Structures are given as C-alpha cells and as structure tokens.
Amino acid sequence: YEFLKIAPNPDGSITRLAPVPEAPPGEAADQLVFSKDVPLNSSKKTYIRLFRPANPPPGTKLPLLIYFHGGGFVFFSAATTFFHESCSRMAAALPAVVASVDYRLAPEHRLPAAYDDAEEALIWAKSQALGPGSDPWMADLADFSRIFLIGSSAGGTIVYHAALRSLDLDLKPLKIVGLILHVVFLGGEERTESELRLIDDAVVPLHSADLIWSLALPEGADRNHHYGHVSLTDELKEKMAKFPACLVRAYTGDPFVDRQKEFAEILEASGVKVVTEIVDGGRHAVELTDAAAARATFQSFAAFV
C-alpha cells in the first residue's frame, strides 16, 4: 500500500494518496492535434477523449485507434497527462483518429467493469459509423473499416478481452483489423522466471503487482482467474482463431515479459498472425517517461498499422 501510495477504506474502496497530473482537452501545445471529450455512459461517468490531427491528409480517411490506458485497472484516466500526451503523439505520428476510453477503475468497480466499458466503447463506435448524430470528427475522418484496438499494460489486457467480446457482437459496419497489445499486464499464481528475476523491480515490484490483482479481480478470486490469466483451452483456441493480426510488444526488463511471450505463443498456437517484438532492456511502460523509447514505440505501432 505504501509503495502504491494508496490507503484502504472500510467500504472496500481505496484512497489514492498521490495526485496525478491531468491535461484538459483542447489544442495540443504544438498545434498538431486537437482533442475533446465525448460521453460514453453518463450514468457510469465514463467518457471518450477523442484526438485528431489538426491538419489531416486531404481527401482521405484515417485509421481509428480505440485506446485503453494502463494503470493496473486501479489508477489513472484518459485525462492523465502522460496518456493524454501519448495519444496526442500517436494521432499526429500515424496519423490517426484516437478514441481513448475512460473506463471505471477497481476496486470501486472490480473486473469485469473495465471490460464492460470496453464493450460499450465498441458499440459507441458502431453508432458513430451508422449515424445519425455522429461526432463530426468521427464522421469526417475515421475509417471504420480500419479499426485497431490498442492498449498498454492493463489496457492491453482490456484489448484482449474486448476482442473476445467483439466476436459475440454484431458490430457491422465496423471492421477491427488489428490488435496492439503493448506490455500486457497478465497474472498467475505460479511465478515466472522474469517475475522472480525482477522481484524488486522499481516500477512494478512483485508485491505491488499482487496487491493490484487483489484489488482488480472479483473478491475471492486468485490470480489464475481468466480475467487476468490466459491458458489455452479448446474453446479459447477456437475463439482466438478469429482474431485479426496482433502486435505483441514487450521489454526484457519488464517483470511480466515471460507472461507476454507466452501470451504471444498462445495467440500463434490459435492460428493468429502475430508480430512479436521483444525489446532488449527497458522496463514496464518505459515509453511514458523516456522520449527515445516513445519514438521507437510509435514507430512500431505505425509500421503495424
């Protein structure tokens, strides 16, 4: 609790003791990207922060990236400054329309709340494609036949579950053509070599990861629960076989790199076309604080898109 700077409350909620800077929507400082907030589900206080290039290429539609931020399902929002800036850079660099989903956080809203919100975001995107009443940025710029679900850390886990749920939804005319799963946050009861090697990692030491899972998963569930752990069953293999192409990206300096490698292997075993990038060094979500790592990350995303 001390490491994560949180305090438990008697009602099962937590007090987040460290203030996290947030950025308002609007015009980026470099004037390359515009952003604004649109409601997703007012009763749940969820919303989507939209990003678009200020000067998109004329006469062409842009891929739509539906983005899910990281934070272990417990921290941050679409407005958190480093996620806001990351989405701004993606929108400018690719270029693309980016819809960053502000989902509900645990433990106030334990899983599957974030996965439910991700499903609502897909249905929202369908409504934008069908109109009427579509947001002008979406109607004018978004190519609904080129949708990528993209997430980092817990956001990557949300992408995986959103993709599974999408198979049971009628999302026409949307076409999800790729999944970008960056430093996916996965768990399990059995320790991996990389978790033990990096047990005292400066970013996500093992004791804090265990606590995060205990706050995020349904009460009483262990880390082998399917909301956070992936093991290949015949049913799952059959569903995964319908996935679009996937980019799985990881750092060797991340405690969860072994789980991420295994996840890529499970996808491949299911017949999915997988691009696996294991970057030497780094640490969990290093691209949020390191400019060179951010450039390399965006170049990787752009090449995949």
Please state, as a whole number, how many other Cβ atoms lie within 10 Å of the Cβ of residue 10: 5
| 161 in active site | no
Contacts of 12 (CB under 8 A, 6+ apart): 107, 108
| 153 in active site | yes
Question: Is the sign of the CA dihedral 262, 267, 270, 274 positive or negative?
Answer: negative
Annotated active-site residue in 69, 100, 284, 300: 284
Rounded to the nearest 10 degrees, how much is the dihedral formed by the CA atoms of 134, 136, 144, 119?
A: -50
What are the tokens at 202? 């400066």
Asked whether 96 and 12 are in contact (CB, 8 A), the reply is: no
| 166 in active site | no
Asked whether 221 and 227 are in contact (CB, 8 A), the reply is: yes
Asked whether 257 and 251 are in contact (CB, 8 A), the reply is: yes
Tell me the C-alpha distance between 143 and 273, whole Å.
22
Question: Is the sign of the CA dihedral 9, 11, 71, 255 positive or negative?
Answer: positive
Annotated active-site residue in 194, 254, 258, 300: 254
Annotated active-site residue in 35, 152, 153, 166: 153
Tell me the C-alpha distance between 256 and 166, whole Å.
26
DSSP state letter for 74: T
Report the catalytic residues.
Answer: 153, 254, 284
